[in-house]
Structure 1
Amino acid sequence: MTLSAAGLGSTTQPLSTVYDLAMLDLDGVVYVGRDAVPGAVKALTEARTNGMRLSYVTNNAARTPHEVAEHLRELAMPEVDDGDVVTSAQAVAHLVADAVPTGSPVLLVGGDGLRGPLEERGLRCVTSLADEPVAVVQGFHPDVGWRQLSEASFAIQAGLPWFASNTDLTIPTARGIAPGNGSLVQTIRNATGASPVVAGKPQKALFDETMERVGGRHPLVVGDRLDTDIDGAINAGTDSLAVLTGVSTLQEIIERAPGQRPTFVSADLAGLNESHLEVELDGDRARCGAATAVVRETVVSLETGEPAGTEALRAVVGLAWSVRDRSDASLTVDGTLGA
């Protein structure tokens, strides 16, 4: 892999043959709600055939790794073992276990997806400050409500350390975008003025947990969110692939500053099995393979190529980053791109 076009990575080989492990986000990348993202099964099956190991890395702490793995198996994802799933609940449980004595009571704000990893680390989950917990541990669950949030606030105000699985403000669902764990964390912040120790993306603890559990020497982070997946990859010193099947948009990608950009971009997981050719730049024009992009006034548009194709997206992104870096121009992408 080489870097070109203002930091965009390039390779003449499919990513699934260049990297030995894909650390895949789930919501908005592999599935949305109960349904697989279109094309995900085919793309991941091909990547696995190419020798790439697949790990499923999620900030969502609502379900246990077994429950997530069962869901993936129901969707016919290739060769899924329970150990291939790593959650932010496992990462935060590791952080807590390193910070408090074995067997300590901890105040649980969440569900079984968080309880299981805490108990696996030898910690005892309690639900009241009266049970004398030594820490507060918070993770997403749809049944978390005022009483749990209030009890956590009282414990934090009493001086207990606070750990959170993740701080995603939103979560994609089949019905649309819903509040995530970060929104619930913010509720406690509002009440206490405190901030938690965070394990999930964009912090590197979740990626460290994945490498410890799954292995891999040359991993690639794959995600749909710039603020968690891609920033997390950067914090972990790992290359990344941004896909457009979830939260972040192509417009948001071209607005990213140097040092905050994904290594690769594709419409969906099919990008794992494609080469990512070098972007050739010539002023306000760029070419990648058969695709050509151009900037007219402040709009980046496509002259040739398939709008949702990887070559087209690379030409657009590489050109936009190049123009922005040399002129600090504010650009927009043609609305048909990445669709």
Structure 2
Amino acid sequence: MTDRLPGTSRWPPSRAADRPATSAIPGEFAVSPDLTAGLVAKPRDAAEAGPLRGTDRPLADLFDVALMDLDGVVNRGGSAVPHAPEAIAAAGRRGLRTVYVTNNALRPPAEVADRLTGFGVPARAEDVVTSAQAAAHVLAERLPAGARVLLLGGRGLRQALIEEGLTPVDSAEDAPVAVVQGFDPDLTYARLAEATYAIRAGAWWVASNADRTVPTERGIAPGNGAVAAFLRAATDQKPLVTGKPEAAMHRESMRRSGARTPMIVGDRLDTDIEAGTRSSTPTLLVFTGVTTPSELLAAPPEHRPTFLAADLRGLLRPAPPVRARPDAGKHAAACGGWVARVDDGELSWSANDGGDGINAGNDTKGGNANGGDGEGGAGDGLDALRAACAAVWSAIDVGVAVHAIAADRPAGCADLVVPTVAP
């Protein structure tokens, strides 16, 4: 007899007797079991996976595999993100292999690789890991071979189910034991209804990912998480989510990539960066996707990246150090040419006089005046933001509210808004 977790759809017993049981958490979705123990090695000569660490060498020299997100990092819709193909190629020449890890379950890996190649990013099917593969693997671990699974998704999810020895079906009348849901832009009400019938009849519901939105060439569109919210409202059940930031996706990525010293690269705080936090894997956040500097400024501890870059060219640069400046205030930090501080609830900046032991230089654009881009240029324009994040995080972590930002601010922080921190 199958047990049902409170507030979730069915969770069949594992075929592996020693596999830990899942548990439901407050919120909208259930989480997958933690299956990553012992999988993550330490990066070569790199900092620990804490927020905003500095390095002496380019990031591409410090890791063996970049577990890289796609949407908003490598491509937006049908076109490449500027500088992404060139940066990935240059990082590869330095020894960094890129494995593309995507929560988008729509396409099979070979098709994803073909699209990447069309963007100028040569890739093979074995270089791609999708949330469809993670979901299908979790299903196969807990269902008998040939089990019927109602498919609410595209061809990538269908192929993944077949490769795991499961039988995809399209109707609740086929008596499926599970429902698997993945992103599909051609989704119809009729298919949503079939999934609802099956879940309400007791089928175990697995969602490939919970991303509420997806970046497209026209803007931000609804993602798989938005569809999951619809089904939750219709069924009063929660899915088991297997995509980022859940452990099942990281386990699948590590298993398929063979990475020993990985770094996660992405544009989303609640998936890419949180996945790194959960698995103690260093992370690189790029600003080519959905996350804004203001959102980073307000990020809780689990959403704070190890490294920060404007785009994938950050792989080719050392990460500038960010250091506390207690001489400049209780909540003050320096990076490159800038010191940021929170004083009486206001965030402000001043020039770095070198009191942190760094030869700061004079960078009026918020970057590293000492050629932190590795090419003798003016850096990436983010040093003022790095310092601001460190100062604000220092304040909000001890309950000090930030209610104002100085009008006189570096160009790289011109659009920052006062951080809204959840209680």
Structure-1-length-normalised TM-score: 0.92
User: Does residue 95 of structure 2 align to residue 51 of structure 1?
Assistant: yes
**Structure 1 unpaired stretches of 5+:** none
The share of aligned pairs that are identical, in percent, is: 45
The aligned residue for residue 42 of structure 1 is 86
AA aligned opposite 2:309: S
Q: Higher relative CO (CA 8 A, sep ≥ 6), structure 1 or 2?
A: 1
Between the two proteins, the alignment pairs up a number of residues equal to 337
Does the C-alpha gap of structure 1 residues 251 and 323 become closer, same or farther in structure 2, counting only changes over 3 Å? same
Q: Per-residue deviation at 1:280? A: 3.0
Q: Per-residue deviation at 1:84? A: 0.5
Q: Per-residue deviation at 1:111? A: 1.3
Within 5 A, what are the aligned runs for 1:1-339? 1-2=46-47, 7-77=51-121, 79-282=122-325, 283-284=328-329, 285-293=332-340, 295=342, 298-301=346-349, 303=351, 304-307=363-366, 308-325=380-397, 328-330=400-402, 336-337=411-412
Kindly provide the CA deviation profile for residues 51-88 of structure 1, in whole angstroms up to 9, marking residues without a partner as x: 111011110111111111111101111x4111111110
RMSD: 2.2
AA aligned opposite 2:336: G
Retained in 2: the 8 A contact 1:294–1:301? Answer: yes
More strand by share: 1
AA aligned opposite 1:142: P
Does the C-alpha gap of structure 1 residues 331 and 200 become closer, same or farther in structure 2, counting only changes over 3 Å? farther
AA aligned opposite 1:60: N
CA–CA distance in structure 1, aligned partners of residues 136 and 275 of structure 2: 19
SS in 1 for 2:225: helix
Q: Per-residue deviation at 1:326? A: 5.1
Kindly provide the CA deviation profile for residues 270-297 of structure 1, in whole angstroms up to 9, marking residues without a partner as x: 1111111322332355332344445576
AA aligned opposite 1:70: D
More helix by share: 1
Kindly provide the CA deviation profile for residues 128-170 of structure 1, in whole angstroms up to 9, marking residues without a partner as x: 1111211111111111111111111111111110111001111
CA–CA distance in structure 2, aligned partners of residues 103 and 330 of structure 1: 56
Does the C-alpha gap of structure 1 residues 181 and 50 become closer, same or farther in structure 2, counting only changes over 3 Å? same
Does the C-alpha gap of structure 1 residues 102 and 327 become closer, same or farther in structure 2, counting only changes over 3 Å? closer
Does the C-alpha gap of structure 1 residues 291 and 45 become closer, same or farther in structure 2, counting only changes over 3 Å? farther
Q: Per-residue deviation at 1:208? A: 1.0
Structure-2-length-normalised TM-score: 0.75
Does the C-alpha gap of structure 1 residues 268 and 119 become closer, same or farther in structure 2, counting only changes over 3 Å? same
Does the C-alpha gap of structure 1 residues 57 and 317 become closer, same or farther in structure 2, counting only changes over 3 Å? same
AA aligned opposite 1:46: A
Q: Per-residue deviation at 1:206? A: 1.2
Larger Rg belongs to? 2
